[in-house]
Chain A
Amino acid sequence: MMRSVGAVLTVLVALVVIWYAAAVWMNSGWALGQAEKRGEVLSFSQLVVETMDQKRPRLPTPHQVFGELWDTTVEKKVTSKRSLVFHGWITLQSTLWGFALGVVVGILLAVAIVYSRVMELSVMPWAVISQTIPIVALAPMIIVLASSAGIEGRGVPKAIISAYLCFFPVLVGMVKGLRSPSRDQLDLMRTYGASGAEVFWKLRMPASVPYLFASLKIGIAAALVGTIVGELPTGAIRGLGARILIGDQFGNPIMIWSALFAAAILAGGLVILFGVIERLTLRRMGAAR
């Protein structure tokens, strides 16, 4: 455990060093150009200093990105339009709605597939095909459809895109989970005289829980990707994806990078959260090792 923490830290430090080196290399063009205009010749150490704090760098340095992150989360009021907490909250809401929708659809389809051969044969191949369709091609369409159906705002279309991305892992995991009870276990239920509903609630459902959690962790990450994809090409003005978009339009790389890192932190937090819930639930069920 300790050894792997050390290894991860070493790799992280190495990445930061590479990042600084890349920043010097990528930002030096602009710095040299400026110096030439002023008729100066930069020594190497001056050049390095010049590349660290440019206003519009090609590659912002780590301290610029994390400075901006600190600035826009802790220093700003949560309600401010410039606060990343505010934009993160918008993104998190759509993510959770889409996630909930995707999980419900995924579980219902899985139950239908497990109990009906017609459903399995008709729906399963299309569920696979639906995932090979690049969702981003559909994203602008979903927004047009939603607005013409009289739905205001971007929350609903974003949630639909999230649901589209996250229902599939849930579906696959739940089909596997609901089918995981063995012949013996099903036969035992029959000798108890259990009804179909009892077999479902007392055997199939509990047996599928570990599979469900594995899928939920993939699903929540997919839902966040869906929301950000939903915000990117559609001219949204609120949300982390919108921050990336606006940063791009105003030529402000620091803004893009800080929004990206905020999204990464959000994704990591959500996955860890579901990992903790998984561990607690499985322990309550007596399944944890």
Chain B
Amino acid sequence: MIVVLAIAVWLALWVLNVRLARGSSLSWLVPVVFGVAVLVLWEGVVRGFGISPIILPAPSAIGARFVAETGTLWGDFTQTVVKGAFTGFAIGTAAAFVMAIAVDRSPFLQRGLLPIGNFVAALPIVGTAPILVGWFGFDWQSKAAVVVVMVFFPVLVNTVAGLKDTTTMQRDLMRTYGASYWETLFKLRLPAAMPFIFNGLKIATTLALIGAIVAEYFGSPTRGMGFRISTEVGRLNIDMVWAEIAVAALAGSVLYGLMVLIEKRVTFWHPSQRG
């Protein structure tokens, strides 16, 4: 009965979406309606078939747990995201950035380091997590270290590619202005590289969260999102695990959205932003 009802609501929302998609003023509502429809279907299936909360809790149960455990969730969030991921992200991207400018100055390093950087960027670097946890201890420092290693290469490769993205004409123009290397760098080449740099930064935000959480599976103090997920799975508190996943999803989406916003402000001149 409930299942039928849920499917009916789903179909109704789908028809609504088809209507909304035709107009252009309300089309931003479409993904929201789609998300709501998925939640309704999920709730309906769980209740209708009486699925045990140990297997798949209903969204309402997860929501209730989320509200009840805000304190714990916030503590885990600060431990993993604020201390681990942010610190690592800042150090890793800064290091990659400086390295990229150094590489850019030396054609030899470009030829030698870039193929290696491209190769390393495709490797399963998460695997270094246990090693780094062994070196830096259980607290957030080791998580930050994993994040540094994970974000370094994507940002490096993208920044170097971006620094190449000026035409000879543009560089010649700077030369006729009598611009020094640093003036050319700051006024022409870095701004021109920004779309590439943000590409790397966007990849890095996701990687930073993954790195910080994986590193906690290999040892952590008794707080943190990865720690909570692995212990609560063991205690079969699946709704708590989902609440933690919701926090991770929210953090990931908000950080990514923030990057997109900053990108829009910085690279307003780029064709992809003017559409």
Contacts and interface: CB of A to CB of B under 8 A. Distances in A.
A113 B33 CA distance: 17
B253 A132 contact: yes
Contact of A4 (B54, B115, B218): B115
Given A241-B127, A260-B127, A263-B123, A148 B210 contact: no
A247 B127 CA distance: 11
A148 B129 contact: no
A121 B31 contact: yes
A245 interface: yes
A236 interface: no
A101 interface: no
B111 A7 contact: yes
Contact of A148 (B20, B55, B109, B130): B55
B130 A129 contact: no
Given A8-B112, A121-B27, A264-B123, A140 B241 contact: yes
Residue among B127, B213, B249 having the largest count of chain A Cβ atoms under 10 Å: B127
A272 to B, nearest CB: 10
Interface in A66-120: 117-118
Interface residues of B, number: 58
Contacts of B226: 136-137, 233
Interface in A116-155: 117-118, 121-126, 128-129, 131-138, 140-141, 144-145, 148
Given A133-B245, A133-B249, A225-B126, A141 B255 contact: no
Given A11-B112, A118-B18, A148-B55, A132 B134 contact: no
Contacts of B49: none
A12 interface: yes
Interface string B124-152: 10111111011100000000000000000
Contacts of B124: 224-225, 228-229, 260, 263-264, 267
A172 B135 CA distance: 38
A124 B34 CA distance: 11
Interface in A202-258: 218, 221, 224-225, 228-229, 232-233, 240-241, 244-245, 247-248, 253, 256-257
A34 interface: no
Contacts of A128: 256
Contacts of B206: 131-132, 134
Contacts of B131: 253, 256-257
B225 interface: yes
A58 interface: yes
A185 interface: no
B126 A118 contact: no
A244 B18 contact: no
Nearest to B37: A122
A135 B14 CA distance: 28
Contact of A136 (B17, B128, B210, B241): B210
A258 B138 CA distance: 23
B210 A122 contact: no
Interface residues of A, number: 58
B40 interface: no
B21 interface: yes
Given A122-B30, A132-B252, A11 B214 contact: no
B213 A136 contact: yes
A134 B229 contact: no
B111 A8 contact: yes
B244 interface: yes
Nearest to B233: A140
Contacts of B108: 7, 10
B133 to A, nearest CB: 8
Interface in A4-27: 4, 7-12, 15, 26
A268 interface: yes
A3 interface: yes
Interface of A: 3-4, 7-12, 15, 26, 58, 117-118, 121-126, 128-129, 131-138, 140-141, 144-145, 148, 218, 221, 224-225, 228-229, 232-233, 240-241, 244-245, 247-248, 253, 256-257, 259-260, 263-264, 267-268, 271
7 contacts: A122-B17, A125-B31, A144-B55, A229-B124, A240-B127, A245-B130, A267-B122
